[in-house]
Structure formats: structure tokens, C-alpha cells
Amino acid sequence: MTFTIDFEHDDDSVFFSHCFPYTYSDLQEDLTRIEKDPNCQDFFYRGTLCRTLAGNRCEYLSITSKDKDPKSAKAQAKKGVVISARVHPGESNASWMMKGVIDFLVGSTPEAKALRDHFVFKIIPILNPDGVINGNYRCSLCG
């Protein structure tokens, strides 16, 4: 595959990307939207896994149907599913995939409800927020 780019103006700044960007701010907006949705409040929890070197929040999500009795056999039988993305900050396509997973799991389809009823999803949408925020491709602030 080949392609040609014609630059129409001298001294223009031109950027090329292998994938459409997904920023830490995009994640914050998406999670805030879900958190404020009254339909999601019974099964969506947003927490801080840790603080990064720069003091940013490395967030995690819990998505599962809440049982009236958390000690019931049904609640105890739920299996856990852990999903993480963006250990390498340049892989923004992973955030788009994660956005799709989260949007599906908090959705109103019968399949999403069945998954929430039978599993506890622990999701870390951006595992390396410092790298994402600072525009790194492969590393965190530690290098």
C-alpha cells in the first residue's frame, strides 16, 4: 500500500496518526456521563485503583448487578472478569475497544443484563494515564 500527501501550504504543521486519538479527558467525560446516568447507578461503580507518579487517578470500574443479599449463594457464585487497556499509551485503539465494552456492559440489552447478573466485571480503562496524558507511545513517566 502506498499513498501520496500533497502539502498545499509552506510551513504548515502536519500530524499523522495510525488511529483516532482517545485522551484521558475523553475517558473522564465518558465515565462521568455513565456515572450520572440514573439507569446505571444500580450496577456501575467508579473508583481509584491508585494515584500515578504525576498524581493522576488510575481508575477502575466495577460493573455487576447488585444482589439484595451479597452473601447469597447467587452473589457468591459470580465469577470475576478483569479487563484492562492502555498499558502502552500510544495504543489508542484499545481505548476505543474499551469504550465499546463499557458502553455495552452498562447498556439496556438483555445480553448486558445477563452478563451483569452472572459476572463481576473489574475494568481498568487506562492503565497508564501519565503516559496517555503526556503523549508517550510506549512508556510511563518512569521510562
Global pTM reads 0.86
Mapped onto helix, strand or coil, the DSSP state of residue 131 is: helix
Q: Would the pLDDT of 12 be above 80?
A: yes
92 phi-psi bin (left φ>0, alpha ψ -120 to 50, beta other) = alpha
Q: Would the pLDDT of 105 be above 90?
A: yes
- So where are the chain's domains? 24-133
C-alpha pair distances (Å), 73 with each of 9, 29, 70, 89, 119: 68, 36, 8, 40, 13
Q: Give the per-residue pLDDT at 53.
A: 95
What is the tens place of the pLDDT at every residue in 27-81?
A: 999 999 999 999 999 999 999 999 999 999 999 999 999 887 777 877 788 999 9
Cell matching residue 88: 502502552
**Rounded Cα distance, 42 and 116, in Å:** 11
**Rounded Cα distance, 116 and 109, in Å:** 11
Report whether CATH 3.40.630.10 matches the domain 24-133.
yes
